[in-house]
């Protein structure tokens, strides 16, 4: 069970309490930035990493939900997954990573455009689906920014 708790809390970040989701998202941004600074992340590798974290989040969410309750605040692997989806296929530089963080947290907190409805799924999918959709929305907006060279 320790493995699932560590996974769900993103190596313990979820235990810090209020703001843990933002801290987990920032930690993901820092890791992503330093892994692939100055270019584009390798497409296949970044997709595989994102999907593996998503699968791990669903699995861990299924395991810790009976202990902690539905979508407990300690579970922050969903924010990590959402950030990974936000950053896929984008140039890795400070401005895009920071914009992705801000947009993702906006979508994750406000939950517009059917994001809130994703929370109605059961178990691990209920934990992860809203953040995946928030990450996809973030990515779509930033892909448009890149394509139209808005900055």
pLDDT (tens digit, 9 = 90+) per residue, 33-66?
999 988 888 999 999 999 999 999 999 999 999 9
Q: Is residue 120 part of a domain?
A: yes
Q: How far is CA 87 from the centre of its chain?
A: 9
Q: Is residue 109 part of a domain?
A: yes
CA distances to 5, 59, 94, 140 from 121, rounded to whole Å, are 21, 14, 34, 23
Q: How confident is the model at residue 73 (pLDDT cuts 50, 70, 90)?
A: very high
Task: Tell me the residue range of the domain where 106 lies.
Answer: 2-8+18-147
Look at the chain and report how many structural domains it folds into.
1
pLDDT (tens digit, 9 = 90+) per residue, 3-28?
999 999 999 999 999 999 999 999 99
Q: Is residue 124 part of a domain?
A: yes
């Amino acid at each position: 069970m320790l493995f699932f708790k560590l996974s769900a809390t993103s190596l313990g970040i979820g235990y810090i309490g209020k703001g843990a989701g933002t801290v987990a998202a920032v930690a993901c941004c820092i890791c992503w930035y330093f892994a692939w600074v100055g270019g584009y992340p390798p497409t296949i590798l970044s997709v595989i990493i994102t999907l593996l974290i998503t699968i791990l989040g669903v699995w861990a969410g299924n395991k810790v939900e009976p202990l902690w309750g539905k979508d407990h605040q300690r579970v922050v692997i969903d924010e990590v997954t959402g950030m990974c989806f936000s950053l896929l296929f984008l140039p890795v530089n400070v401005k895009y990573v920071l914009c992705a963080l801000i947009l993702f947290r906006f979508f994750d907190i406000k939950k517009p455009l059917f994001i809130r409805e994703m929370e109605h799924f059961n178990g691990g999918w209920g934990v992860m689906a809203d953040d995946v959709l928030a990450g996809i929305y973030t990515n779509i907006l930033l892909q448009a920014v890149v394509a139209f060279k808005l900055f």
